Amino acid sequence: MSVHRMSKMSVAAVATLLATANTLAGGITSAPPVDLVAKGVVIGGQFVNVGAVETIHAYRAKAFANGRCLFAFQSNVKNQGAAKTPVPFRNVVQWDATVVAQNAGQLLNAGEARDYFFDAWLEPGSHTLTLRADADHAVAESDETNNQRVSRVVVMGACIDSFITPAAPAPEKRSDAQRAPAALKSMPGKLR
Protein backbone atom coordinates (compact mmCIF):
# COMPACT_ATOMS: atom_id res chain seq x y z
CA MET A 1 0.00 0.00 0.00
CA SER A 2 1.45 3.37 -0.92
CA VAL A 3 2.17 6.07 1.63
CA HIS A 4 -0.28 8.37 -0.18
CA ARG A 5 -3.12 5.89 0.21
CA MET A 6 -2.19 5.25 3.81
CA SER A 7 -2.39 8.94 4.68
CA LYS A 8 -6.05 9.03 3.65
CA MET A 9 -7.00 6.15 5.92
CA SER A 10 -8.60 6.94 9.24
CA VAL A 11 -6.83 6.03 12.45
CA ALA A 12 -9.59 3.52 13.18
CA ALA A 13 -9.03 1.85 9.79
CA VAL A 14 -5.29 1.61 10.48
CA ALA A 15 -5.98 0.10 13.93
CA THR A 16 -8.34 -2.45 12.35
CA LEU A 17 -5.75 -3.26 9.65
CA LEU A 18 -3.02 -3.77 12.27
CA ALA A 19 -5.28 -5.95 14.43
CA THR A 20 -6.16 -8.08 11.39
CA ALA A 21 -2.49 -8.44 10.47
CA ASN A 22 -1.67 -9.35 14.06
CA THR A 23 -4.39 -12.02 14.07
CA LEU A 24 -3.23 -13.48 10.74
CA ALA A 25 0.31 -13.62 12.07
CA GLY A 26 -0.92 -15.55 15.11
CA GLY A 27 -0.50 -12.62 17.48
CA ILE A 28 -2.82 -11.40 20.16
CA THR A 29 -5.40 -8.88 19.12
CA SER A 30 -5.79 -5.74 21.18
CA ALA A 31 -8.93 -3.92 22.25
CA PRO A 32 -10.05 -1.05 20.03
CA PRO A 33 -8.45 2.18 21.22
CA VAL A 34 -11.48 4.49 21.73
CA ASP A 35 -15.23 3.96 21.53
CA LEU A 36 -17.49 6.88 22.47
CA VAL A 37 -21.10 5.99 23.18
CA ALA A 38 -24.09 8.30 23.47
CA LYS A 39 -25.75 6.66 26.46
CA GLY A 40 -28.94 8.63 27.02
CA VAL A 41 -30.87 11.75 27.93
CA VAL A 42 -33.02 12.76 30.90
CA ILE A 43 -35.56 15.58 30.48
CA GLY A 44 -37.25 17.09 33.52
CA GLY A 45 -36.15 14.12 35.62
CA GLN A 46 -37.59 11.57 33.18
CA PHE A 47 -35.33 9.17 31.25
CA VAL A 48 -35.92 9.19 27.49
CA ASN A 49 -35.65 5.70 25.99
CA VAL A 50 -33.75 5.38 22.72
CA GLY A 51 -35.97 4.80 19.71
CA ALA A 52 -39.14 5.13 21.77
CA VAL A 53 -41.85 7.75 21.83
CA GLU A 54 -41.69 9.40 25.25
CA THR A 55 -44.19 11.85 26.74
CA ILE A 56 -42.81 14.63 28.93
CA HIS A 57 -45.50 16.58 30.77
CA ALA A 58 -45.29 20.36 30.94
CA TYR A 59 -45.58 20.26 34.73
CA ARG A 60 -41.99 18.92 34.81
CA ALA A 61 -40.73 22.26 33.45
CA LYS A 62 -38.70 24.64 35.59
CA ALA A 63 -40.29 27.74 34.06
CA PHE A 64 -42.72 28.89 31.37
CA ALA A 65 -42.56 31.81 28.92
CA ASN A 66 -44.04 32.66 25.54
CA GLY A 67 -45.74 29.28 25.17
CA ARG A 68 -42.52 27.35 25.82
CA CYS A 69 -41.33 25.27 28.77
CA LEU A 70 -37.84 25.41 30.28
CA PHE A 71 -36.70 21.87 31.03
CA ALA A 72 -33.60 20.62 32.82
CA PHE A 73 -31.64 18.18 30.64
CA GLN A 74 -28.96 15.66 31.47
CA SER A 75 -27.06 13.73 28.79
CA ASN A 76 -24.48 11.00 29.27
CA VAL A 77 -21.53 10.02 27.07
CA LYS A 78 -19.12 7.17 27.81
CA ASN A 79 -15.76 6.12 26.40
CA GLN A 80 -16.08 2.35 26.54
CA GLY A 81 -12.79 1.92 24.71
CA ALA A 82 -9.42 0.93 26.16
CA ALA A 83 -7.67 4.28 25.63
CA LYS A 84 -8.17 7.95 26.49
CA THR A 85 -9.62 10.12 23.73
CA PRO A 86 -6.54 11.54 21.97
CA VAL A 87 -8.16 14.83 20.92
CA PRO A 88 -10.98 17.00 22.28
CA PHE A 89 -14.44 16.29 20.91
CA ARG A 90 -17.87 17.96 20.93
CA ASN A 91 -21.22 16.51 22.00
CA VAL A 92 -24.47 17.93 20.61
CA VAL A 93 -28.10 17.66 21.69
CA GLN A 94 -30.63 18.59 19.00
CA TRP A 95 -34.34 19.29 19.32
CA ASP A 96 -35.66 18.78 15.79
CA ALA A 97 -33.14 20.78 13.67
CA THR A 98 -32.10 23.13 16.49
CA VAL A 99 -29.00 22.55 18.60
CA VAL A 100 -30.15 23.14 22.19
CA ALA A 101 -26.86 22.22 23.88
CA GLN A 102 -23.28 21.40 23.05
CA ASN A 103 -20.20 20.54 25.08
CA ALA A 104 -16.94 21.29 23.26
CA GLY A 105 -13.37 20.46 24.25
CA GLN A 106 -14.26 17.19 25.96
CA LEU A 107 -11.75 14.45 26.80
CA LEU A 108 -12.64 11.11 28.40
CA ASN A 109 -10.37 8.47 29.92
CA ALA A 110 -10.83 4.81 29.04
CA GLY A 111 -14.02 3.56 30.71
CA GLU A 112 -15.04 7.04 31.87
CA ALA A 113 -18.62 8.27 31.57
CA ARG A 114 -19.66 11.87 32.07
CA ASP A 115 -22.99 13.58 32.63
CA TYR A 116 -23.64 16.96 31.03
CA PHE A 117 -26.30 19.29 32.45
CA PHE A 118 -28.11 22.13 30.71
CA ASP A 119 -31.51 23.79 30.35
CA ALA A 120 -33.46 24.16 27.12
CA TRP A 121 -36.70 25.86 26.09
CA LEU A 122 -39.10 23.44 24.37
CA GLU A 123 -42.48 23.92 22.72
CA PRO A 124 -45.44 21.59 23.23
CA GLY A 125 -45.97 18.91 20.59
CA SER A 126 -44.07 16.02 19.01
CA HIS A 127 -40.35 16.44 18.32
CA THR A 128 -37.19 14.51 17.48
CA LEU A 129 -34.47 14.48 20.15
CA THR A 130 -30.93 13.59 19.02
CA LEU A 131 -27.83 13.11 21.19
CA ARG A 132 -24.56 12.90 19.22
CA ALA A 133 -21.24 12.09 20.88
CA ASP A 134 -18.23 13.35 18.90
CA ALA A 135 -20.56 15.22 16.53
CA ASP A 136 -17.67 16.41 14.34
CA HIS A 137 -16.01 12.97 14.10
CA ALA A 138 -12.80 14.34 15.62
CA VAL A 139 -11.98 11.06 17.39
CA ALA A 140 -11.13 7.90 15.44
CA GLU A 141 -13.20 5.14 17.01
CA SER A 142 -13.59 1.42 16.75
CA ASP A 143 -17.39 1.83 16.41
CA GLU A 144 -18.96 5.01 15.04
CA THR A 145 -22.47 3.51 14.93
CA ASN A 146 -23.15 4.00 18.65
CA ASN A 147 -22.42 7.74 18.74
CA GLN A 148 -26.00 8.83 18.13
CA ARG A 149 -29.26 8.27 20.00
CA VAL A 150 -32.56 9.38 18.50
CA SER A 151 -35.93 9.43 20.23
CA ARG A 152 -39.34 10.93 19.62
CA VAL A 153 -40.48 13.18 22.47
CA VAL A 154 -43.95 14.62 22.98
CA VAL A 155 -44.20 17.64 25.27
CA MET A 156 -47.72 17.29 26.67
CA GLY A 157 -49.70 20.14 28.12
CA ALA A 158 -49.65 23.88 27.87
CA CYS A 159 -46.46 25.71 28.66
CA ILE A 160 -48.12 28.45 30.63
CA ASP A 161 -47.73 29.46 34.24
CA SER A 162 -50.87 27.85 35.61
CA PHE A 163 -50.02 28.35 39.25
CA ILE A 164 -52.36 31.15 40.32
CA THR A 165 -51.77 32.68 43.71
CA PRO A 166 -55.10 32.90 45.51
CA ALA A 167 -56.20 36.37 46.54
CA ALA A 168 -55.95 37.20 50.23
CA PRO A 169 -59.28 36.92 52.01
CA ALA A 170 -61.14 40.17 52.52
CA PRO A 171 -60.92 41.49 56.08
CA GLU A 172 -63.96 40.99 58.19
CA LYS A 173 -66.11 44.04 58.71
CA ARG A 174 -66.95 44.33 62.37
CA SER A 175 -68.01 47.19 64.57
CA ASP A 176 -65.79 48.52 67.35
CA ALA A 177 -68.04 46.74 69.84
CA GLN A 178 -67.46 43.41 68.08
CA ARG A 179 -63.68 43.95 67.89
CA ALA A 180 -63.26 44.92 71.54
CA PRO A 181 -63.88 41.47 73.06
CA ALA A 182 -61.36 39.89 70.68
CA ALA A 183 -58.76 42.54 71.56
CA LEU A 184 -59.36 42.00 75.28
CA LYS A 185 -58.95 38.21 74.94
CA SER A 186 -55.52 38.69 73.41
CA MET A 187 -54.29 40.75 76.39
CA PRO A 188 -52.21 38.99 79.04
CA GLY A 189 -53.85 38.03 82.28
CA LYS A 190 -57.37 36.93 83.08
CA LEU A 191 -60.18 39.24 82.19
CA ARG A 192 -63.05 36.84 82.71
Q: How far apart are CA 36 and CA 145, in angstroms?
A: 10
Residue 179 lies in a domain: no
Same domain, 17 and 102: no
Same domain, 126 and 149: yes
Same domain, 19 and 54: no
Same domain, 93 and 77: yes
Its domain, for residue 23, covers 1-30
pLDDT at 30: 52
- Long-range CB pairs of 18-22 (<8 Å, 24+ gap) are none
| Cα dist from 81 to 23, 37, 65, 108, 134, whole Å | 19, 9, 42, 10, 14
Count of domains in the chain? 2
Res. 178 pLDDT band, cuts 50 70 90? low
Q: pLDDT tens, 42-94?
A: 999 999 988 889 999 999 999 999 999 999 999 999 999 999 999 999 999 99
Same domain, 44 and 17: no
pTM for the model stands at 0.66
| DSSP-based helix, strand, coil % in the chain, nearest 5 | 15, 40, 45
**Which CATH number fits the domain that encloses residue 74?**
2.60.40.10
Q: How far apart are CA 98 and CA 79, in angstroms?
A: 26
Max mean pLDDT among 8-12, 127-131, 161-165, 183-187 falls in: 127-131
Same domain, 99 and 72: yes
Same domain, 106 and 131: yes
Res. 35 pLDDT band, cuts 50 70 90? very high
Same domain, 64 and 152: yes
Q: How far apart are CA 163 and CA 61, in angstroms?
A: 13
Nearest CA to 133 out of 70, 60, 78, 54 is that of: 78
Q: How far apart are CA 98 and CA 40, in angstroms?
A: 18
Q: Is 47 helix (H, G, I), strand (E, B) or coil?
A: strand
Residue 186 lies in a domain: no
If phi > 0 it is left, if psi is from -120 to 50 it is alpha, else beta; for residue 138 that is alpha
Over its C-alpha atoms, the chain yields an Rg (Å, rounded) of: 30
* Residue burial 95-126, b: 16+ Cβ < 10 Å; e: rest: beeeebbebeebebeeeeebebeeebbbebee
